[in-house]
Structures are given as structure tokens and as C-alpha cells.
Amino acid sequence: MVTKADPEKKKKKAQVPFRLNVLFLVVFFLFSILILRLGVLQIVNGEEKRLESEAVEEVIARKEAPRGKLLDSNFREVVGNKPFFSLTYTKTVDTKTEDTMRIATWLSKRLGVTEDQEKKITERDKKDYFIAKHDIKELMEERLSKKEKKLSDKEQYKALVNKISEEEINRLTSEDLKILAYKRAMETGYAYSAQRIKTNLTNEEVSIISENLADLPGIDIMADSERIYPYGESTIFGQVKQIPKSKMDYYLSRSYDRSDQVGISGLELQYQEVLRGTKEKSVYLTNPKTGATIGEPRTIPGQRGKDIVLTLDMELQFKLEQILEEEILKAKPLPGNDLLKSAYIVMMNPNTGAIRGIAGKKYEKGKFINDSYGALFNSYEMGSTVKGATVLSGLHKGLIKKGDTFFDTTYTKYGMNKSSWKNMGNINDLDALRMSSNVYMFHIMDQMIGPEHYTKTYEEARYMYSQFGLGVETGIDFPNEATGYRGIPPEGELGTLFDLGIGQFDTYTTIQMVQYVSTIANGGYRVKPQLVKEIREPTTDGENTGKLLTRFEPEILNRIDVEDEYIERVQQGFWQVMHAPGGTAKSYFDDVEKYRNPAGKTGTAQRRIIDPKSGRVVEKHNLTLVGYAPFENPEIAFAVVVPDGTPVNGNQRINKFIGQRALEAYWDLKKKYGENAATVTGNLTKEKEETENSAQ
């Protein structure tokens, strides 16, 4: 029996193929996309991805960051950075000579060349350029002998260079030399090391380069800087230059690049690791087999170096330098001062070791040279200023007692014929310091001579002096501090032993002298001199100072092995020098209100030097002065050294004039800015300091 088909069933059967077709179409479409993508990866990007899959090495190119700043104790910038833009080139191991030549040609036409760039071009550079302009294979074929052609590639090239004539390199045009200037700079650096090829770019040059960076592989514009000195340069600050060859291995072992700028002297060297910025890094993926770079580098931003805050007050520093210059010019025309040309002064807090000012000036060829460095490295016989240490040694060892008297007249023992600057009659230890007796010191040194051999006394005396910082490193935070010269005593002669006791045998530096007088001023504690008091994070816009990272506290190096009563005795003697009748500096420092009741000691040391004009040996004198103020509660100590002057007819006064004016300048600045401000501008508030300290 025939029945009719169910319409609903027919409809359902018709819908199934349609859905399958749609499904097949979608699957086909997805597979097509997948195949297309695989084709792109394999055909278009296959080589790059293959290399990338093999890239197991990262090569990092670094760009220098600006150095940290140096700020004075009042947070005024004394060494900063002048920003500018530099053009850099980073070559890779697969950089080709033709690429370098193309970019150098492009740059020379659009940027021009400075005189400094042209000066660096050597004759060898010109020969290399001549070869690069020609077909090197043809040149070798034409110019090398059969024997030379059998040499290694390197030796063949060397032989070819020698065959380039002077006439040929002289035919290079001015355009050739411009191209060569850039090519030379681009090839100087090492692979993956950003090399400066032009500095101080103009805005127009920056714009031109920026618009064409895509066509200049390896070329970049780097924010750069150079050191500036708002208060003038100083040898204490130091210099920044490219790594010296002698230090190359040292810095390379510490992850520096050969083209880096580093501190080579002064505080720039001492605090190199602090002032050094964190470099911007460009991380390249490289193929370990071919060395080829893959893709664009990944950039990690850098940061400016940390700032250091000095103990120096630049306003006082400027005053001290001015005082030295003016007093040298006033003293030079006086009879006997024809060879006087330099002077040094250091002012330091005797309780903390903070150097408030350190100045040195040298007058040569009609102009002054900044020689603050000399206060740390030039050593001299200091004369009577060291007699405080001699008296203390005598008291401590029981060689004399407080108040012991000797008759000051010409000393003739041991066949010597030595005397003080005048016969003083019966004097005690205080009189000896006040009037600066040599003979009293001779008696102390004579008592010190041991029963075995007098030469042991030298070491005994020097050990006592070293406790004050004389003849040893002071510990100042500065590279390669000098310690002075220890005289070599002639065998069997006692005269130089007595000279040692009056400061005319061993030599000392100005910084040693200020540490010595500070030790007496503060009651017997040898304090480490400090030029830096803080390290801070680099400042950002709108901030006077960055976050405090480190504060250097005062450091006691040793307590001298002398009883307090004896230190007080010498302190009293130093006070009499400047205030009691007959004191060698009374007429200069007895104004208690003006100089705040100072104490100290004058000194004059004979010195034999060669007169550069006559060639004869002449006698000159080092004129020195040490002191501190106020006497009751010292807050500033100072040492003045003026080599090669004369004491004739009172012309030795330059050391006292410098000391007068230095003390006056210090107190005037303190009065100007208030009791709480030996500091001037930019002091941090108490609240800010507490906030920073709690955040550490």
C-alpha cells in the first residue's frame, strides 16, 4: 500500500546537508587562514624566525647617563651638568663597510664637520679611506708583489697601506675629508658600544636626524652633558675624562665600556661609583652562530648618578681664594719675597672634621692658578707651629714638668751652635710657646735621647707626632693623599734631631697641620677630615635636594696618648701666643670681639732653594700659622702655609694677614646667616629630614 511521505521529515532531511555544507565551509575557511599564516611565517618570516629560534645570546649596548652633582654644605650646585644632544653610532658585528660609508656620506652632507673632528684625522685614516673608495681587489692585484700576495689577509692589507703615496692622499677633496671624519668616528668604537660621533647638536641637526632615523641603522640621538662649575673649577672637584689606558683593565672588569667617561682625579675619582649614573641599556638578540642581530633592541631607561653634598661652604671658599690672591700680590713686591708665589689654607671644624674651606693659589706668568690640590699634596718644613706637639711629648714622657724653666741662650751642646730668634733668658713651657723658643725645644729633644743610640729618638718623636696626624695619612676622603717627607739623619750628627723638634727637618702638608691643631683644640681627639657629608638621590624638577641615602658621621681616628692636664697646658700656651704680652701673634689676633678669642701658633722654617734666575742656592722661609676659635669652645680650626717668603724686616706677616682675614670671613658669614646657619640657602627643614630618615 502506497502512503504519502511526511512533509516534516522531508524538511528535516533537507536541512542536514545545508548545515554540513556550512560547517565544511567554515572549516575550509579556517584551514585556509592557517595555511596562509604558516606560509607567511615560513616564506616571508622564515629566516628571521629561524635565526630567532637559535638566538640564545643577549648583547647589551649601553649609553652613558649624566653624572651626579656636587652640592656645597648649603645645597648650592658647585659641579653640575650642562645638557646637550650628541649623535651616537652603535655598530654590530655584521655592520658592513659600505653601510658605514653610506651613513658617513649622508651625515657629512647634512651636518657638516667641526674643526675638532677634522683635527683627529690621521694619515693612516686617509690611506684607509683611499682604499675604501677604490676596489680593494684591483688595488691588491696592481700593487702587491707575488710574494706579498701569499701573505695573510691582514699582512696583505698592511702592505697595501704602505703603498698608498702621499700624493694620492693629498688628492682627497674637502668633501672626502668630511666623510672621512664621520667614518673614522663611527669605526673607532667597539661592537654594541654607543660611540659619540658628534656632540652639541643644534636643534636643526636634531630635527634632520630624527626625521631620517629609519634610514640610518645604528645612528641615534643621545641626551648628553658636560661638567659645569658655577663657582669656578677646583682641583678638589677633579676632572672627568675618557678611561685612561693605564686603568682600562680595572674599569672593564667592573662592567664599564671603553668609551665611558670617568673621574680621573679629585672627588670625581674618589666618588666615581656614586656619581656614575645608571646607563640606558639596549638589549639586542643575536644569533650565536652568525653574530647577526635580530629585530629591534629592547630599551631599559637609565638614571642620573647620585648627588654628593660637600662639607665645603662655597661662599667661604670663594672668600679664602680671594684672600690668598690679594695677600700674595701685596707680599710679592716686598724685599726678600721675590720667589714667593703660592699660599694655602684649610679651615675645618675641629670636632667633626668637616672641611669648611680648602684653598690654594699659585701665581705664575702673571696669573693665578687654582692649586687647592697643593693643600693635600705639597709638604713643607712647618717651623715652630709643631712646637705644641714637642712640648706635649716632653710633658707626657716626663722629660719636663709644667712650669720647668730653662735659660734661653745659644745652644752649644754636642758642638752645635743653635739659638732662638732672640735670647729670652729664663722661660718656662708656656713662655716657650708664647715667644716661640727654639732652645726650650732643644732641651726637650736632648732629654729624649736614649742611652743606646740617638737615632731611636727620631722614631720615638715621630710616633708622638703621628698621633696628631703629622707624617701620616689624615684619612681624608680624597685619592692618594701625601704624607710628607721624613728627613734622613746624617750618621752620628745630632743637629737634625733638634731641628725635628722645631719643625725644620720632616715635612708636612697643610691638611696634616689643620688636623694637628684640631687635635689640640678638641682635647686630644684626632678626627678624620671629611670633604663629603651626605649622599642623596638625584633631584627631580622642583626639588632642591633628593632623598637622603647616606650621612657620614664624624670619625675619631685615635685619642692621643697624653694626659688631659698636659693638653690643657699647651692650649693655654697657644692662647698666650695670640693674647699675652710678647706673644708672636698678639698684635694680630688680640681683638676678642672680631676674631672670637682665638688660640694658635706661628711658624717660620728656613729653606734652601735654587733661585731660577741666578741659579744660586738662596735661603728662604716657609711662613706658617695654625689656630682655632673660640678658645673655650672651638668650632673652627685653620692652617696657613706660605712657602718661600722672608722674615726680614717684618715681611713674614703674610701668614698672619691670611689667618686674620680668614677668621674674619668665617665669623662674618656666620653673623650674616645666623647662629643656625653656618649654612646659607636651601637648608632642609627638620620635618623633611625626619621624614626621609624614617623612610630608610
Residues taking part in catalysis: 384
Please name the helix (run of DSSP H) or strand (run of DSSP E) that holds residue 628, with its range, or none.
Answer: strand 617-629
C-alpha cell at 166: 702621499
- Report DSSP letters for 147-188, one per residue: HHHTS-HHHHHHHHHHTS-HHHHHT--HHHHHHHHHHHHHHH
Tell me which residue of 689, 686, 684 sits closest to 73, measured CA to CA: 684
The Cβ-side half-sphere exposure at 663, using a 13 Å CA radius, reads 31
* Cα(238)–Cα(230) distance, integer angstroms: 15
In angstroms and rounded to an integer, the radius of gyration of the C-alpha atoms of the chain is 38
Longest dimension (CA), the chain: 164
The cell 653610532 sits on which residue?
89
Q: How many residues does the chain have?
A: 696
SS3 616: coil
User: Which of 686, 660, 695, 693 lies closest to 319 in space, CA to CA?
Assistant: 660
Burial 304-343 (b: 16+ CB within 10 A, else e): bbbbbbbbbbbbbbebbbebbeebbeebeebebbbbbbbb
| Phi, psi dihedrals of residue 277, rounded to the nearest 5° | -80, 170
- The 8-class DSSP code of residue 385 comes to G
272 three-class SS: helix
Q: How far apart are CA 359 and CA 318, in angstroms?
A: 9
Report yes or no: 314 and 71 within 8 Å, Cβ to Cβ: no
* Helix axes 136-143 and 153-162, enclosed angle (nearest 10): 70
The SS3 of residue 530 is strand
C-alpha separations of 452 from 186, 448, 465, 498, 658 in Å? 72, 12, 22, 18, 45
Rounded alpha-carbon distances, angstroms, from residue 97 to 129, 187, 401: 11, 9, 85
CB of 418 within 8 A of CB of 498?
yes
Helices (H), 284-396: 314-331, 374-377, 387-396
Contact 680, 74 (CB under 8 A): yes
Cα dihedral sign, 115-120-124-130: negative
Task: Let me know: does 547 contact 692? Beta carbons within 8 Å.
Answer: yes
Under 8 Å between Cβ of 88 and 199: no
Contacts of 133 (CB under 8 A, 6+ apart): 176
Distance CA 131, CA 123 (A): 13
Is 199 exposed, middle or buried (CB count within 10 Å of its CB: 0-12, 13-18, 19+)? middle
